[in-house]
Structure 1
């Protein structure tokens, strides 16, 4: 019987080895399946990340495009605002010019009026001066005539007195 035991042992050993090999194979297959599952999960994760990256890049491109559009719109708005400000400034400038021209016309009218008054006053003063000088000349002429009369009468008196004394007035 001992030989039977050995056979059994061999069988047991073979079966243990088989079990170990099957177990190792099962474990290896399990690890392989787990690795395949991990690879699949990682591929899915990578694909999801790729999709997210593409989506993010697309959003980034869209945002950049929107930023460019908004910057262009802002430039247009600034130009429009500048144009509107220019129009307002031109209107104000035009109003200021009209006001200035009106003030200048009023000043010119006032100056012309004052110049006219000055000319009239000059004419009046000249007339008064001429009248005064004419009156003075007339008074002087009257006074001269009166002095001449008085002087003639005085001369005549002195001539008569000299004649009374027997003197000739021509000799003296």
Structure 2
């Protein structure tokens, strides 16, 4: 008789494993929640500290603003006084500058005439330079054409010489082949078998 098969009870062990897995998951969830609470507590403490700092900063800014307003009033009165002085000085300066502008306009007219003359000379030089460049480019193109022609002629000559040499080598090879074939047949050997 064959031995009896033992039946295993897997269901209770499986449910124990499920409970243990759920327990571990619960412990992890609790740890995660505790970390979040600690992080939020730190955020609240930091926010309260920041709020205190901001209030102190606002108080300091208010004091600075008051000082700035007083300084602004002082500067404003000083600027009004300076404005009157400067206005007088500027009026005198404007009259002097108008005379200088008149003189500079005359000098500008002379300079513009010289500039036109220089432009005409430069344009003439550029035209001459362009003509020289065109001439040189033409010569360069002609030289290039000549070199290409010489190169093609040389290559054609080399190709012809190579063909002659190759034909000679092929004839020589055929002669040697026939010679050795004849020698092999004298010894009673077939060249195809070797």
Q: TM-score, normalised by structure 1?
A: 0.49
Greater share of helix? 1
Higher relative contact order (CA 8 A, sep 6+): 1
Whose Rg is larger?
A: 1
